[in-house]
Amino acid sequence: MSKNNQFHNQIYNALCSAAGKENVSDSEMVLVTYSFDSSTTPPTKPDFVVMPRDTISVKQVLEVANRYRTPVTVMSAGTNIVGMTVPSEGGIVLELIWMNKIIEINEDAAYAVIEPGVTFDELTARLIEKGFRCQIPTAPGGATVTGNVLLKPSGSLANRHLDSLIGVEVVLPDGTIVRTGSSAFPFCGYFMRYGPFPDLAGLFCSSYGTLGVVTKAAIRIYPINESVKVSIVAFDSFLDSVNFTKEVCRGNIAEHCIIWNRHIYKGYEIDFSSKNELSVPEVIYDDPRSKDSNLPYNLVTVLMSGYQEDMDAHEKVLEKLSKANSGHIFSKEDIEKNIAKAAESWKSLYAEYHIPPMDQTKKYGLGRYVAWIVQAEPKSLVSIEKEAIQFLDDLNIRPICYYSMPFDYGRGMFFRLFSYVNPQDKELLAKVGTLYQDMYKWAMKKYGATPYRHRRDPNNLAMTGGYQTLLRAIKKLVDPNNILNPGITLF
Tell me what the pLDDT averaged over the chain comes to.
90
Residue 153: Cβ within 10 Å count: 22
pLDDT at 418 over 70: yes
Residue 350: Cβ within 10 Å count: 22
What integer pLDDT is reported at residue 179 of this predicted model?
A: 98
Query: What is the tens place of the pLDDT at every residue in 154-169?
Result: 778 888 877 899 999 9
Query: What is the tens place of the pLDDT at every residue in 198-215?
Result: 999 999 999 999 999 999
What integer pLDDT is reported at residue 300 of this predicted model?
A: 98
What integer pLDDT is reported at residue 1 of this predicted model?
A: 45
What integer pLDDT is reported at residue 81 of this predicted model?
A: 60
The H or E element that residue 94 is part of is strand 92-95
DSSP-derived pairing of the beta strands 92-95 and 102-106 = unpaired
CA distance 167 to 192: 8
Instruction: Select the more confidently predicted residue: 235 or 138.
Output: 235
Nearest Cα to Cα of residue 200 among 163, 169, 226: 169
Instruction: Select the more confidently predicted residue: 223 or 79.
Output: 223
Instruction: Select the more confidently predicted residue: 221 or 81.
Output: 221
Query: What is the tens place of the pLDDT at every residue in 254-293?
Result: 999 999 999 999 988 887 666 666 788 888 899 998 888 8
Indicate the pLDDT class of residue 363, thresholds 50, 70 and 90. Answer: very low
What integer pLDDT is reported at residue 40 of this predicted model?
A: 65
What integer pLDDT is reported at residue 236 of this predicted model?
A: 96
pLDDT at 38 over 90: no
Largest Cα span, the chain = 78
Sign of CA dihedral 155, 79, 20, 90: negative
Indicate the pLDDT class of residue 361, thresholds 50, 70 and 90. Answer: very low
For the chain, percent of residues with pLDDT exceeding 90: 70
CA distance 392 to 34: 32
Cα three-residue angle 85-137-216, rounded to 5 degrees: 60
Domains and CATH numbers, the chain: 3-96 (3.30.43.10), 102-223 (3.30.465.10), 227-451 (3.40.462.10)
CB 59 within 8 A of CB 168: no
CA distance 162 to 76: 22
For the chain, percent of residues with pLDDT exceeding 70: 94
What integer pLDDT is reported at residue 273 of this predicted model?
A: 64
Q: Across-strand partners of 311?
A: none
